[in-house]
Structure 1
Amino acid sequence: AVLHAIKEQNWSFASFLYHVFQTKDGKGKPLSRSTVHAQMVSRFLGGRAENSVSDILAAWMASPDGRVPAHSPNRNLMYSTSIPYTTIKPVRAALTSFATQIIGKKVACEAESAVHISSGLHAVIEKQQPVTVFLCNNIAMRRPRTRAGVVLVRKTRPPETVIHVMTHAIAAMNFCRTDQANLLPLARGILYFGSSAPVELMNYNCRIGSMPAPQTIRRSMITLSEEEAKKITGGGFPDAHGADPETAGFLIVDNCQNYHKQNDLRIGRESVMNVGMAGLYFEAADVDPAVFDLTDKRKQIARGLRKSVTVDGLLALIDSPDSEVIGALMFIECLARLIPSLNSLLAEIRLRRSATATHVIAPGQSIVHVLASNGKKETISTELKNAMLDFAAQIGQTPGKFFKRKLPVGGDGLTYAMLLQLQLLLQFHNDPFESFEIFEPQLQVWHTKWTDIIRIFQTHWGRISGKSTNPASLGYSAGKIGRAAPSNMKKVEFYQGSQLLSVVLDAKLLDIWGVAFKTKDIFVYFETLQKAKTLPDMEILLPMARKLYRAYATARGRDHALYDVTDTSDWARTVPKGSAWVHREIEDSSLDKKAQKKPKPAGEPKKPRKPKQKLPPKQYDGDFVLAQEIDFIRDALNSRKLATAVAEGDIGRLYECIKYMLFTFAGSSHSNYRGYLLETVMSLEYESSPGLKLALLRGLVWNLTGLPDHCEEGDFIVEFFNRLLEDIVQHKSAQFDDTFIRDIISRNLRHIALLKLAWRTGTSGKPPFPNFKHASPTEKPEVRTLYKLYTDVELHHRRRHRQIDDRDTDDFAKGPSSGGGDGESDSETSTASSESESESDEDSEDEGEINFATRGSTYMVNGELIFDGRDMMTGPEDLDKFAGLVDTPSEDEDAGAEDDSGI
């Protein structure tokens, strides 16, 4: 009836619909509609009718009446972007063109809003460009599949990965719209720069609009470097850290070097060692700056307590009860980690260890600023002074404007010694800044830990000239699992040395537990207990661990091993008697001294040497091999305790390890580190207030990740950034004080490293610092091999008169009576790795030698100490092409060839 009425009025159906929805006439004036007309249209367009507008549109698109014939010219009008949709007649072509053109206008409006200078990036794309995101999602992502009503999760190209791709695509389009929307393209350019991408590749990406031009990236790097400097010194930043008297910070410096080899040698183009210095500034938000008061430090020194220090007083500083608690927990931790059925105890072990900790740094991510490098040489006092003035100026401390308080300056052993020497040379200046009184030299931990590992290798390796037959020696264990002796005992690789010590210690502790449980296969033993549901708990294991620690990891246990031949003492009841020892000729460890001597240059006259009378080796009633074994376990446990304390940020136990190493270094040939640690302990104990002592210890470890149990030593972090800097300097053939290196590269090293990390983990869908164990080959086969070996030879049983070599491995006992520990001992019982009488301290470096030792870090994961030896180098290829955009000298200045790795 309605259609007939329309026809009777000589209206078309289209005219009827047009006039039904019109609200204004041809002149733009409102039309007068009846009440029924207005109500019906309002109800329909407002979505309150039984059938909505979407139903009508769907019907129009599905109706065969609106189909455009294939031969019709209107066929090309579908989804038209150029012809106005108001001029298109067919319904399907009109609707699709309408949608396309309306969305086009919306996307343009979104892009205009997104590139506004006040907008962010990722949040802007999600909030300001929802239609664009929706369209890109439809293009990039397939619809999720469902099976039996369950949505399947895609293994390849998951949605979270596609979102990253979509974000970059939209950002690239926004960048094409205006060069102001360059945040993500600029970040990509800096990433390419930090990844050493060839400049041709950067130019190509600039051409296709995915990143700015290399010159723009260079200017941005300069701006970032300037902003980073202002964050410390001020210059427009009201909260600049270094210039704020209410904040505290730590400065850690180190030398950096690379060998500049000339392929075309000429006069003036010699191959030289390129040296310089670099530094980091750490913000210490949890330290009260008042503890660094210079007046209070002077009062502490004026007490003169240093003069009354005795060896017994230094020994009394060691907290033996805490060492026993931690040692027992380390015994249990080894068992719980290697026995699968006891893994559940690891959490309780960590809890007990944390409950007894005295000083742990505050959780959270440490803020570090990389300072501009310079070309100074730390072994020359005048150049070291200029370098320190440069670093001090970068943190807002200048001769005319400085805080009258201590500024901790950390470094490796050589840096520490040179700073102390520099203070002695400048002590007669009246001004605290000119006399360097405001600086507080601080020995950092990583190089000390590395040197201690070298000492352990030198003391406990055993025979080097041939295969050792002493199961207590480190060389014996290494040979059984296919590890060769280090090529240079004075430069043991940190990561490989740490890992070998860990494996050998695990196997030995496991065998001790096997002796305690009276089993020759501890793995099968605990499998049987697990099946019987009679596994021991902490209440059973802890008393056992205490007894085992006292018997196998203390000086008293060593004395019992040498002299206790009874069966009635507590030690004898803990350490069972083994089979009778068959006497044999004792190995002469003096042969190893000759094997380690460096060959002298041809033609050098030999120095006449006074012949020594060979003394017969000392005989013991007890078990000399077991005593050597106890010495190794003591040293290895202290090394593990130090690594664990660093990872957990436990500066209290870290300091306990330092006090122990003071005596082990004194008893070895590392007399330099004896002096370093002695000065450190005396300064902290007798010339510092309790607050200053705790603050200085706080400056030894930092947490760049913010994750628990991922703290690292300050000098190790400096080494990491130095490695990045040295690679760039090497490929650029530049100097460390060149404009490009100093003003562009140095301060941006942290930004480049974090950007690479964020992009790498972001594209993989993993968190920036995943809390998972680094994928490394399993150590269980090696531990099982050594465990069986120790069980077969009854290493941890007492066998009277057992002696295989004459090495004196108790460095701790030799320390108090060493008289300075000046290298080679006159006794024939000195360790196999001691230097000849004509050579000086083990800490001395060979001039011109470059140390390429593998760096490595340690951290805790689920109670397990992880040794991470992943390479920190970036390998910049063709970075010199990009670096060539900055004018730098093409010739290297003459530099010395001295190396310092800090040990």
Structure 2
Amino acid sequence: MDQQPTQTAPVKLVRLWKRLPNIVVPPADVVVAGSSRTSSSVSGSSAIPSPVSASSIPGSIAPRSTRWNKVDIVLKTYGFRSLGEFLLVLFHPRKRGEPDRRSKSHRQAVARFLQGKCKVTMADIIPLIYDHHQSRPKRSDVDQSSAAFSPSRPLAEIHYARPCLSAWATRLVGNRIHTAVDKLARTDRTDTRHRRRVRATTNGRAKNTSLVEWEDVELSMEELAALYREEDPLLWYITECAAAPRKGGEGFVKKIRPHPGIQVGAISSFIISRNRYASGDLALPLGIWLFACQAHIDVKRVFCRLGYSCSDSTVRNALKTLTEASLATLRTRVQAATARGEMEHAKISDNIQKYQRIYQHGLGKENSLNHGTACTVFELDGLHPAAFRADDHIARIIKQERQSMTVLSLYNTIDWEHLDNVWELHAIRVLVNYLPHLAALSPNISEKFRTTLSKRRLPVRKARLQPLGTNAEQQMENKGYEAGFRNFDQQTGVEPEKSDNILSWNRGDGGTHGTLMRLKQIQSTCPDVYSSFRNALSTAETWHTKATHLNSCASNHYGPASSPDPSSLSRSSNAANMKRPTDLKKCDFYPTSRSMTLIWDARILDCWRLVLGCETDLVSHFDALVTTNRLPTLHDLLRQARILRERYACQAAYDQSLDKEEQDRAESRTKFHEGSPWTRPGEQSDSDAHMSNSESSDSDSDRDDMQADTLNEASNTGLPATAASKTTTTARAGDGPKTHSEQPGFNGDRVLSNAILFLMDFGWWTELNYAIPEGDVGRVFEILKIYIFTFAGSSNQNYMRYMLDLYTLLEYEASPELKEAILNNWLLNTRGEPGKFVEGDLMQEWSNRWLSDFSKEQGADYDDPFYRKTISPNVLHFLKIKENMESGFELKQRSKVHPAPHLRSETKILLQLYKNEELHSFRSGRSMGHAVINQFDRGYQRLEDGKLAEYLKNGAEYAQLLHEMESPRSPAAAVVLRQVRAPLPVPMKTILTTQAAHKVSEAHPLLPAPRLSTVRILNVTLKPRRVLPPLDRHSALRLLHLVRLQIVFKSGTALITATNHSLVDQIWV
């Protein structure tokens, strides 16, 4: 067994202290004198021994050494005159090329301290010196106190450490800021999205210059702040200290004036003051923004002097450069598409005008109305490459498939079931918006519009628009439209010689569309495709169509200004204190639509009151339902809405309201609520029957043939009551008004029938107004097909033809790819957000408004370079830069429209009026002098009576001329025409009489009839008994189209017969 080792006791170590003798430390000057060996002891005795040898003195005791003792020893023994001299030697900076006299330990000690390798660093020393109470001068010492942070006073004159340090730091930071701003002003960023050095224009001598682009003026204060903070943190910190408020020692951002934006403005002005070309950060965007806001020139000059913006001349040069760059890009894209045989862009044009007032009159100076034309090009989306092939479209026109169209077939293409469902949902929408009890159903209604009842919704995509330079042409004139058309094509880079087989899509209001269609007729015999507009496609835009229908609806339903009839809109407008349009033929769009929408909603609510059987009013009725927890669901309301439509908003309801027998036979579902018996008022005096012509419910021409139309309707529907109606007129021909009065035996309710027609007519307008923002072109097209009939029944016959042009184009004369392309780009979304689709002509009207605002300050025409190169091509960018500036400064975006106040009070007044007057109750024999025309029925009858046939005949004439011109060019067109109809027979006689000419015309109704006797064509006047030398086939065709004479071809020559009543002239051409 191993023996355990013995453990020794721990040894306690004891420190032995040796007592040393007391040491007398001599003063520092004595030490210095001793070290120089030039002075003697203070007492005259021998030199006092050094403290280093004190430990060798037997019997001496050393005191305990502390930091303060050590400092005292150093201060007494370091051998320098002052602490400053010691520090000056200690931190002696050796200059390059000089010998270094410092010892190694000296160098190492200083290096370690300055490099922060010691425990005590400069971060500890500087605050001690700066905050030391001995470093601050007394307040009474104004000279030294005022030297603190002095940027110019010599540092040698500042004795105290604290003001001296602050003055030195001020100059150091100032020099650093100066260098930093200079660097920012002289160098550009590598990121091309945030270029700083951009130029408004260049003369070509400078190389590698960066011209301004629209991406350079897209302002974002947040991005600029981040860039400045990253590029120079010191500069950002200094400006932040100046601008940012502090709370508890920490900076914070205020809501009213956030300091980062203020810093960006200050730094940008610093930079542009050092380099005027470094304006891309803020100065140039602000300059263009001031120009877009039409700021006064004095404001621009002051902002330019402050360095916040560029000068006005620089901004104008920049806008010209931007215009040239934008149009050059557009031309490149158009020409590239043309080379591929495709069309990627379309044009929307509109006429503009301004009244130029002369304030300094003189010879040749008069007030005038300056005309012009503006145009915007937009890029097409979602189209097939071969969609806009001209040969296919022309071949379809020549084939004349439109000739198979009838009034009945046109009527049957309307999706009436869909329109009924949409109308019912609109009625529910009105009820839900009025009653807060049903507010939870509002999202479901919107979803149903966008899903179940949607027909063709466009995807949400932001339209890419490029306005063109304006010109001073009058678009409503043939010559002016042609010149403007050519000018816009030149700006877009269209090459006519390469575009014969490419369709150009030209959009505009009704007048613009009508002018182009007229030009196509006039120029149809030109051999050149481009000059004849054969490859020009035209469509009438929707907003002007909607506005025209609003005028038609207003003139039909408003009635006399002081009408007592509750079905007249004038009575409702007077009750609600809404403005009645002064000119019912040309209403102010927004006030009129707002008034009519209010009235339509109120009448829908009154119908709901009757359908739901409310004893008092709708609010009380639904309050009771809430109390009993019996609120209807959306499905319940849809069932009730169908009853409401069948009873108050359909053609059958209109017919029923005019015949008491039908009312008595009607089912309970469609039977009107019986009102109180109607007491026929007494005979009116002659003065009461006279009203102003401006207060008639429709045009004089419409009222003149109202009786005949009603008789036709009676013959078709078998309603004797309608046939018994008549119109009473005034004695004087110029005074107009026609007061409607019923013949004896009338037992219907004219007031109720008027209300039913208004719910139908304006219900279609309401559907169109709601379908457009949603981008549902399918729903829009359904309403436009209805407008063919309503325009035919009104005085706006031109728009009937425009809507027929659109219908025949999409259904008969467009390939499936072309139809798809047109519908996919029918509406534009300028913001790229859901529910923000607009009509193309409305977008152009917005641009025209800004052009008009700019033109107020200019006296030049619209073809002036200022408009063409500075204003017009950039007008949409002006609107955008305003919004970007607001968002860039984190400002809440202002609405571009005035918010409409609520109309709850007006609605209550109208509901009480309709309830008291029993508007939607049947009162047999009620008629109060106001009769609304059933424009849909009248339009259907007019189309049957020859309006449609006349339209088809004009189309056939154009197709025949088109065939004659396309046959030599396009064999396919000739084959198509041969398949449709046989060639014309050649007459046996070489000279035709008038009778023979008319026989040819009767045999071939597509040819124009002879009717002119004197015509100037090709600088030759054709008069009776005048024979001209033979002309070629092209000249004969042109003569045919322009003078509308009878022409028959024989062996390559043409026989033309002109008539002048009884005088017949036979001309061999």
Alpha-carbon separation, structure 2, partners of 1:593 and 1:313: 41
Residue aligning to 1:132: 235
For residues 556-597 of structure 1, the C-alpha deviation after alignment (integer angstroms, 9 at most, x for no partner) is 332333343237615336x43333333336989985574559
Distance (Å, rounded) in 2 between the aligned partners of 1:334 and 1:68: 81
Residues 773 and 369 (structure 1 numbering): CA distance in 2 closer, same or farther, change over 3 Å? closer
Secondary structure at the aligned position of 2:863 is classed as coil
Give the aligned partner of residue 565 of structure 2.
Answer: 470
CA distance in 2: counterparts of 1:111 and 1:729, whole angstroms:
41
What is residue 191 of structure 1 aligned with on the other side?
Answer: 289
- Judged with a 3 Å threshold, the aligned counterparts in structure 2 of structure 1 residues 480 and 398 are, in CA distance, closer, same or farther, namely same
Q: Bigger shift: 238-247 or 453-462?
A: 238-247
Give the counterpart of 1:636 among 754, 762, 783: 762
Q: Counterpart of 1:258 in 2: which secondary structure?
A: strand
Alpha-carbon distance, 1:104 to partner: 2.8
Match of 1:6 in 2: 74
Distance in structure 2 (CA, Å) of the matches to 1:19 and 1:403: 93
Deviation at 1:797?
2.6
1:127 partner letter: E
% identical equivalent positions: 26
CA deviations 1:482-531 (Å, max 9, x no partner) are 23432211111001111101111111112222222322321233344445
Larger RCO, structure (CA 8 Å, separation 6 or more): 1
Per-residue deviation at 1:193?
A: 2.7
Distance 1:52 1:610 in 2: 104
Alignment partner of 1:179 out of 272, 276, 281: 276
Amino acid aligned to 1:134: Y
In 2: Cα distance, 1:185 partner to 1:790 partner: 61
Q: CA deviation at 1:748?
A: 2.2
Alignment map for 1:429-468 (pairs within 5 Å): 429-464=526-561, 467-468=562-563
Offset at 1:364?
A: 3.0
Measure the CA separation in 1 of the matches of 2:336 and 2:622: 59
> 1:812 maps to which residue?
936
Find the partner of 2:850 among 719, 724, 733. Answer: 724
| CA distance in 2 between partners of 1:750 and 1:611 (Å) | 47
Structure 1 equivalent of residue 834 of structure 2:
708
| Residue 603 of structure 2 is aligned to residue 508 of structure 1 | yes
Look up the equivalent residue of 2:563 and give its one-letter code. Answer: S
> CA–CA distance in 2 between the matches of 1:532 and 1:613?
50
Q: 1:84 to 1:358 in 2, by over 3 A?
A: farther
Equivalent residue runs for 1:168-247 within 5 Å = 168-183=265-280, 184-234=282-332
Which of 723, 728, 734 lines up with 2:860 in the alignment?
A: 734
> Superposition pairs for residues 743-782 of structure 1, below 5 Å?
743-760=869-886, 762-763=888-889, 765-767=891-893, 774-782=898-906
* Structure 1 length-normalised TM: 0.80
Query: 2: distance between equivalents of 1:777 and 1:445?
Result: 27
CA distance in structure 1 between the partners assigned to 2:651 and 2:456 by the alignment? 27
Partner residue, 1:582: 679
Matches within 5 A, 1:601-620: 616-617=742-743, 620=746
Amino acid of the structure 1 residue aligned with 2:492: I
Q: Partner of 1:571: helix, strand, or coil?
A: coil
* 1:375-386 pair list within 5 angstroms: 375-386=472-483
Q: How far apart are 1:209 and its partner, in Å?
A: 3.2
Give secondary structure in 2 for the equivalent of 1:677.
helix
Residues 725-734 or 483-492, more deviating = 725-734
Deviation per CA, 1:53-83, whole angstroms, max 9, x where unpaired? 5454444433312212341644344223346
- Is structure 2 residue 349 aligned with structure 1 residue 253? yes
Q: Partner residue of 1:889? A: none
Task: Output one character per residue of 1:328-385: Cα deviation in whole Å (capped at 9) or x when no partner.
Answer: 2211111121222322322221111111322222213222111111111123212211
Structure 1 equivalent of residue 992 of structure 2? none
**1:57–1:298 distance in 2 versus 1, CA, 3 Å:** same
What is the CA deviation profile of residues 295-334 of structure 1, one whole-angstrom value per residue up to 9, with x for unaligned ones?
3323433442110110111111211122122212211111
Answer whether contact 1:581 1:800 (CA < 8 A) is retained. yes
Letter in 2 for 1:634: M
1:525 is aligned to 2:633: no
Q: SS at the partner of 2:316? A: helix
Q: Distance in 1 between matches of 2:150 and 2:545?
A: 73
Match of 1:290 in 2: 386
> How many pairs are equivalent?
801
Which of residues 627, 631, 645 in structure 1 aligns to 2:753? Answer: 627
Judging changes above 3 Å, is the alpha-carbon distance between structure 1 residues 81 and 785 closer, same or farther for their aligned structure 2 residues?
A: same
Correspondent of 2:809 among 658, 665, 683: 683
Mapped to 1, the partners of 2:179 and 2:150 lie a distance apart of 20
Q: 1:783 corresponds to which letter in structure 2? A: T
In structure 2, what is the Cα distance between the partners aligned to 1:608 and 1:569? Answer: 47
Q: Cα gap change, 1:93/1:286 in structure 2, threshold over 3 Å: closer, same or farther?
A: farther
Which string of whole-angstrom CA distances, capped at 9 and with x for unpartnered residues, describes residues 67-113 of structure 1?
A: 12341644344223346879966432344334433433443344344
Query: In the alignment, what sits opposite 2:917?
Result: 793
CA contact (8 A) 2:500 2:529 kept: no
Partner of 2:443: 347
Aligned to 2:857, the other structure's residue is in SS state helix
Q: Contact conserved, 1:396 with 1:402, CA < 8 A, in 2?
A: no
- Evaluate the alpha carbon distance shift between residue 56 and residue 393 of structure 1 in structure 2; reply closer, same or farther with a 3 A threshold: same
Q: Which amino acid aligns with 1:133?
A: W
Instruction: Tell me which amino acid in the other structure corresponds to 1:93.
Output: P
Change (3 A) 1:388 1:239: closer
Q: Does 1:101 align with 2:171?
A: yes
Distance 1:814 1:230, change over 3 A: same
- Once the 2 structures are TM-superposed, how far is the Cα of residue 243 of structure 1 from its aligned partner? 8.3
What TM-score, normalized by structure 2, do the two folds share?
0.69
Q: CA RMSD in A?
A: 3.8
Specify the alignment match of 1:64 in structure 2.
Answer: 133
Larger radius of gyration: 2
Q: Distance in 2 between matches of 1:596 and 1:352?
A: 41
Q: 1:655 to 1:38 in 2, by over 3 A?
A: same
2:150 to 63, 71, 80: 80
CA distance in 2, matches of 1:484, 1:15: 94
In 2: Cα distance, 1:523 partner to 1:152 partner: 51
Say whether residues 1:544 and 2:640 are aligned partners: yes
CA-CA distance at 1:14 after TM superposition: 5.9
Decide which of 565, 578, 581 is 2:663's aligned counterpart. 565
Question: Residues 327 and 99 of structure 1: is their aligned pair in 2 closer, same or farther, counting only changes over 3 Å?
Answer: farther
For residue 1037 of structure 2, what is the aligned residue in structure 1? none
**One-letter amino acid matched to 2:235:** T
The residue aligned with 1:489 is 584
Moved more, 430-439 or 2-11: 2-11
Alignment CA distance shift 1:411-1:60 (3 Å): same
What displacement does 1:815 show? Answer: 0.9
Look up the SS of the partner of 1:583 in the other structure.
coil
**Aligned to 1:292, what secondary structure does the other structure show?**
coil
CA–CA distance in structure 1, aligned partners of residues 652 and 90 of structure 2: 105
Q: Distance in 1 between matches of 2:430 and 2:342?
A: 45
Read off the aligned partner of 2:116 and give its amino acid letter.
Answer: L
Native 8 Å contact 1:248 1:288 kept in 2: no
Amino acid at match of 2:821: A
1:830 equivalent in structure 2 = none
In structure 1, C-alpha distance between the alignment counterparts of 2:350 and 2:443, rounded to whole Å: 38
Where in structure 2 are there 5+ consecutive unaligned residues? 1-66, 197-220, 701-731, 948-1069
Indicate which of 413, 438, 441 corresponds to 2:510.
413
Q: How does 1:250-289 map to 2 (within 5 A)?
A: 250-263=346-359, 265-289=361-385
**Displacement of 1:692:** 1.8
Q: Is the deviation greater in 718-727 or in 323-332?
A: 718-727
Partners of 2:608 and 2:937 lie apart in 1 by 26
Which deviates more, 124-133 or 13-22?
13-22
Q: What is the alpha-carbon distance in structure 2 between the residues aligned to residue 265 and residue 14 of structure 1?
A: 86
How many Å separate the matches in 2 of 1:683 and 1:86? 92
Contact in 2 for aligned 1:247/1:285 (Cα 8 Å): no
Match of 1:399 in 2: 496
Range with greater deviation from structure 2 (392-401 or 610-619): 610-619
